[in-house]
Amino acid sequence: MSDFEYANAPESKAIANISPSYGLFIGGKFVDPKKGKSFSTINPANEELLSKVGYGDKSDIDAAVKSARAAYTKIWSKMPAKERGKYLYRIARIMQERAREFAVVETLDNGKPIRESRDTDIPLAAAHFFYHAGWADKLEYAGFGNKPKSLGVVGQIIPWNFPLLMLAWKIAPALAAGNTVVLKPAETTPLSALLFAQVCQQAGLPDGVVNIVTGDGITGAALVNHPDINKVAFTGSTEVGKAIARSISATKKTATLELGGKAANLVFEDAAIDEAVEGIVNGIFFNQGHVCCAGSRLIIQENVADEVLEKLKKRMSLIRVGDPMDKNTDLGAINSKEQLNKIEEISKTGDAEGANRWSPDVKLPTKGFWYPPTIFTGVTQSHRIAREEIFGPVLSVLTFRTPAEAIEKANNTMYGLSAGIWSDKGAKVLWAAKQLKAGVIWSNTFNKFDPASPFGGYKESGWGREGGRHGLAGYLTSDSKVNK
């Protein structure tokens, strides 16, 4: 041990104040599931039990949709828009007040470093509520026609990678536009949504406007297939997204789907290399790579590839992997055993198909689910690790000679969610941005989010946009018949 080792700086678990068990949040109250079933949620960093959570089935979903419908017809759709805005502002302020509690709950349940939940997830979630609170009474002036109307009851299903942030992306615009909500959090990360339910109570939000039913894929399918919801909003895998699209076909339901990605991060020869290296690390190792828009395909111009890779490896050796509750941790735990298996499985095909694996020398904890930061070099377009979403801290590195080749490789994917461009030349950046088929393109940065900026993808990355004015459009209609 050297003289300059870092000391541990753990955040306190006690701040989270997690109950031993939770019911379903229906009609403004926590109620037991009708069949009385529950499931466990664990801390993926040490596999310790955090809480028992109610398992909602078809009958619970039905109760939740009924409660949302009643709240919609009797209260929320009749309330002046300005009043709706006030509730959203109140929720946003309470989230800020309880930010530390939210951050600890999120890190315990998800496994992400406390630094990220504290500095990214929770502040952005609150920002989404603030942003949409402002929209609530201005919808008529937002270019959606003369009198845009809400849709009704929205069924929302969110993933485990950014549990509270995805909840905010879904609930804030839905409520601002005047809809009521039934939300199903991911099976492995229900706790921050249940804490949010307490915030709804604290804010005095009318009963039934937000309903939260925890459960698994079967619960989600019951929500999607419920006859009395007007819209489905889903963030998750492309596979499930396709299943949802199939099951709502030939119904009046609309959908927004935020699905997978395999983002290209293009580094041109004239890029500021040190900055690009930081951006590459942020792009793929942020949130353990559990990011749909992660920069998982690094495409470097050949003449700078050696320099970039050498610096990248040095930088990766400095990544601190370990206890997510430590404020110095950069890379936390993989969210579940299932996800770890998936990462391992696809990464192994990288070895088998002839790519070269490299990881820094890191000591992984023995308990919990862990994967070291990893890069594969010598990857070709046909490798599985270049085509499929790994959703873990695994980066595939490819090279290019001409800008045209870079674009061709970048666009040769079934996804089109995000992309990054690293270059010192503005004209080159703008040219590349125009060619790339991706919903979000970052120039000389990566993984930057803002509630005002629409987010969403081309091709199999999904339908519709979330955030900004474009995101609101998904929760409004100018068709006066739709609510009947």
- What residues act catalytically? 258, 292
Euclidean distance between CA atoms 209 and 156, whole angstroms: 13
Q: Which residues, 16 to 35, sit near other proteins by CB under 8 A?
A: none
* φ and ψ of 211, to 5 deg: -125, 135
Which span sits near other proteins by CB under 8 A: 1-9, 77-85, 123-131, 432-440? 1-9
Q: Which residues, 316 to 375, sit near other proteins by CB under 8 A?
A: 318
In 3D space, the residue among 254, 287, 348 whose CA is nearest the CA of residue 44 turns out to be: 287
Exactly one of 97, 119, 228, 274 binds other proteins (CB under 8 A); that residue is: 274
Exactly one of 1, 4, 7, 246 binds other proteins (CB under 8 A); that residue is: 4
* φ and ψ of 447, to 5 deg: 55, 45
- Cβ atoms within 10 Å of 382's Cβ, excluding its own: 9
Question: Smaller CB distance to other proteins: residue 6 or 141?
Answer: 6
Question: Smaller CB distance to other proteins: residue 71 or 331?
Answer: 331
**374, β-bridge pairs:** 394
Please, what is the minimum distance in Å from the beta carbon of residue 375 to other proteins? 19
* φ and ψ of 349, to 5 deg: -65, -25
Question: Smaller CB distance to other proteins: residue 310 or 338?
Answer: 310
- Give the end-to-end CA distance of the chain in Å, rounded to a whole number: 70
Question: Smaller CB distance to other proteins: residue 9 or 352?
Answer: 9
Query: Whose structure tokens read 């000591």?
Result: 363
Give the Å distances, CA to CA, from 199 to 156, 221, 293: 18, 27, 29
Write each residue from 282 to 321 as x if it is in contact with other proteins (CB under 8 A), else as -, in one continuous string: ------------------------------------x---
Number of shown-chain residues binding other proteins (CB under 8 A): 5
Count, residues in the chain? 484
Please, what is the minimum distance in Å from the beta carbon of residue 5 to other proteins? 10
Query: Whose structure tokens read 């509690």?
Result: 101
Structure tokens at 459: 């091709």
Question: Smaller CB distance to other proteins: residue 109 or 326?
Answer: 326
Which span sits near other proteins by CB under 8 A: 2-10, 94-102, 158-166, 399-407? 2-10
Structure tokens at 144: 């959606």
Please, what is the minimum distance in Å from the beta carbon of residue 399 to other proteins? 21
Does 2 bind other proteins (CB under 8 A)? Our answer is yes
Euclidean distance between CA atoms 197 and 176, whole angstroms: 17
Footprint on this chain of other proteins (rule: CB under 8 A): 2-4, 274, 318
